[in-house]
Structure 1
Amino acid sequence: MGSSPETEHPVKAFGYAARDSSGVLSPINFSRRETGDEDVRFKVLYCGVCHSDLHSIKNDWLNAKYPMIPGHEIVGVVTEVGSKVKKVKVGDKVGVGCLVGSCRSCDQCGADQEQYCSKNVMTYNSSIVITYGGYSDHMVCNEHFIISWPKDLPLDSGAPLLCAGITVYSPMRYYGLDKPGMHVGVVGLGGLGHVAVLFLKALGVKVTVISTNLKKKEEAMSKLGADSFLVSSDQPQMQAAVSTMDGIIDTVSADHPLIPLISLLKPNGKLVLVGAPTKPHELPAFPLLFGRKLVGGSLIGGMKETQEMIEFAAKHKITAAIELIPMDYINTAMERLQKSDVRYRFVIDIANSLKST
């Protein structure tokens, strides 16, 4: 006879969950497992609100498991460690991003690419086991998937880097769009896009922000340091920029055409998709053939690279632009996120506002 849920998950916890595809989040009492020999338990202090949280709670990707407790940009302070834990100790600041497990034995795990493991375990709404995310009072996680937090990196504005940061940093490194003097475009100036600009500039890359919204030009150039701004609906501007970019990081998760972006690439240029629209892109072959251009994708990063990214961010003082909110504001925040009414990332002040009932 198998163990009862109460035996397997005896530690009481509290958070906010969506119960159905309405996406409405409300308080929930649930439980987490005991701290195993290789586990780290920590009190959640802050949790970023990712656009994928919105897609997930509304079942836009048709894979939702309810009740769903979102949140994969989680930072906190360690309260308990297992007997075999070596990475951190009680009192340390830590983070958890999009992954809390993988098989640890396949080729991808061996190459520090746990995000591509066929048995990876997502921080919430996992297809492998039941998992609950960071819109909650505490977390428990195997130490391999714990990020050690740099002393000089703020917790609140640093939290979004655990998803938004690694999502743009990993393809910059993998696709070679990190060389000083290169010219790279960033499509969309939202939660991912604004962080992409900051990383690229820290790497010494020339950056052009590509957006439909001219109102974002001042912020892109004055506050974030972009070198130029391109309005994608302005045909003369787009035509003038044809064949000028070594690469493009496309962060947009809404339906949009790729052909105009491909035209901006130099021969051998690379368009990398990190946003996840719900509708398939149209991708004719000829724009790729004439110029040997590449359209690729990238999904977050492995644990080694995520730790590298966090340390790079601390060194270069890179943080997200955030709006700190209390837990009970989350449904309003989701409505605003749906309308792109945030500059540029909501972060929930879990420790000071999540009150159990």
Structure 2
Amino acid sequence: MARAEWGLQGRGKWVCSYKKTTLIICFLNIAVALYFLRSLYASLYIYSGNVSRNIVMYTPDQLQKMEESIRIRKANKPAKLVKWVRKLEGEFSRGMAVVQFPQHVKQKITNEILQRLRSLNSSGTDIAHDISKKREAVESWRNEKLKEAKLALTDKTSNFTIPHEEAGMLVRALESDWAVLSEEIGLWIPVEVLNEEHDDKPEGELELEEEVLPGRPVPPECHGELHTDYDGAAVRWGLTHHKDSAADCCQACMDHARNAKEGEKKCNIWVYCPSEFGCHSHDIYEHKHQECWLKFAEKPRVNFKNRYPESYRNAHPSAPVIVPWVSGVVSA
């Protein structure tokens, strides 16, 4: 019996000491938390005091000198130069913002111009006169279409053949973006004619002189053909081979054939891109201005000539109406 009482008293003391231990641990945790909070507050106070002490206080004399410096900089600012630069940037941005015509609109414009050109009677001998007539016919069509577009734009209630939403694009394109639109639809009429007195040349060379190519004239042995793309195995890639003119491209082909080693394919076809806007092709590459392709073929064959077929343009919407390349087969 005495042992039992002692056991109960022992367990009571043990329970009592367990509670005390728990209270002591909680008290210590609270004390540690308060200590950390106090340390954090003290560090923030010290940081804010340092920031406030780092504020620079300028004297009135220093402030006056700074204001004078700002005034001098503003007075010496090249206002006229800035104005001219902004004006040039505005003109450049307007020039780059070319109207993007839908394909059916460009096709309609192309058909109208071709119909106007077909109505002309060609003399067949006086090339300069024929080109002048073509230029006048295109300019006459342009003025008539511009007048019609402006009327359709201002008079919304009248029944015009030009929809009102297309009239604004036409007015801008025919006035400020006419050169770019002409390039997109494949219209290329020369300003002047080279060697117009040589009427005894073959028909192929007369066709070459109907349009002006940059650089020196293409020699007769190059047999240059405008709006023509010859097929063949490339012996020199034009993507990394550029020439200043079609004549230089032909000369590169002849030099390649002359210097080719035994067993190598000798260049007998040259293909040149004269357009500043690049030339279309059905491959995956972007063909740029002055590309010069050197090719070889035992039996030269034409890929495209004059105009791209309608079926081809339907399959390739980005293709122009007229073939932009210039090419030829050199004399053996």
Which band: TM-score by shorter chain? under 0.3
Q: Report which of the two structures shows the higher radius of gyration computed on alpha carbons.
A: 2
Query: TM-score under structure 2 normalisation?
Result: 0.21
Relative contact order, higher structure (CA 8 A, sep 6+): 1
Query: TM-score under structure 1 normalisation?
Result: 0.20
More strand by share: 1
